[in-house]
Structure 1
Amino acid sequence: MSQALHWTAYYERMEKNAPLKIYYPLCGGGEECIFVCPYSDSIWEVVPIKVDLFGFREKVRLRPFIANPEACKKCYLCVQACPTGALRPAEEEIKHPSFVLLYNALRLPFKKRYGTKFVFRKEHREKFKRNNWPERYGVI
Structure 2
Amino acid sequence: MEAKHWRYYYEKMLKEAPLVIYYPTCGGGEECLYVCPNKDRVWEMVPMKVTLFGFKEEVRMRPFMAHPENCARCFLCMEACPTGALKPSSDPPKHPYLDLFVNTIKLFFKKRYGWRWVLRKEHIEKFKKNNNLT
Query: Do the structures match in fold with TM over 0.5?
Result: yes
- The Cα offsets for residues 83-116 of structure 1, whole Å up to 9 and x where unpaired, read as 0000011111211122111000000011111001
Following superposition, the deviation at residue 52 of structure 1 comes to 1.9
**Quick one: which amino acid aligns to residue 67 of structure 1?**
A
**Runs ≥4 in structure 1, deviation > 6 angstroms?**
none
Q: How many correspondences in the alignment? A: 134
Following superposition, the deviation at residue 56 of structure 1 comes to 4.0
Q: Report what 2:122 is aligned to.
A: 123
Which one is further off, 44-53 or 79-88? 44-53
Q: Distance in 2 between matches of 1:74 and 1:24?
A: 20
Q: Is the 8 A contact 2:27 2:53 kept in 1?
A: no
Structure 2 unpaired stretches of 5+: none
2:112 is paired with a residue whose SS is coil
1:110 is paired with a residue whose SS is coil
**Quick one: which amino acid aligns to residue 32 of structure 2?**
C
2:106 is paired with a residue whose SS is helix
Structure 1 unpaired stretches of 5+: none
Q: Distance in 2 between matches of 1:57 and 1:124?
A: 21
- Cα 1:73–1:102 shift into 2, 3 Å: same
Q: Report what 1:100 is aligned to.
A: 99
Q: Report what 1:21 is aligned to.
A: 20
TM-score, scaled relative to structure 2: 0.95
Q: Report what 1:31 is aligned to.
A: 30
Q: Report what 2:67 is aligned to.
A: 68
**Quick one: which amino acid aligns to residue 71 of structure 2?**
C
Q: Distance in 1 between matches of 2:24 and 2:50?
A: 6
- Cα 1:125–1:10 shift into 2, 3 Å: same
C-alpha root-mean-square deviation of aligned residues, in Å? Answer: 1.4
TM-score, scaled relative to structure 1: 0.91
Which one is further off, 20-29 or 85-94? 85-94
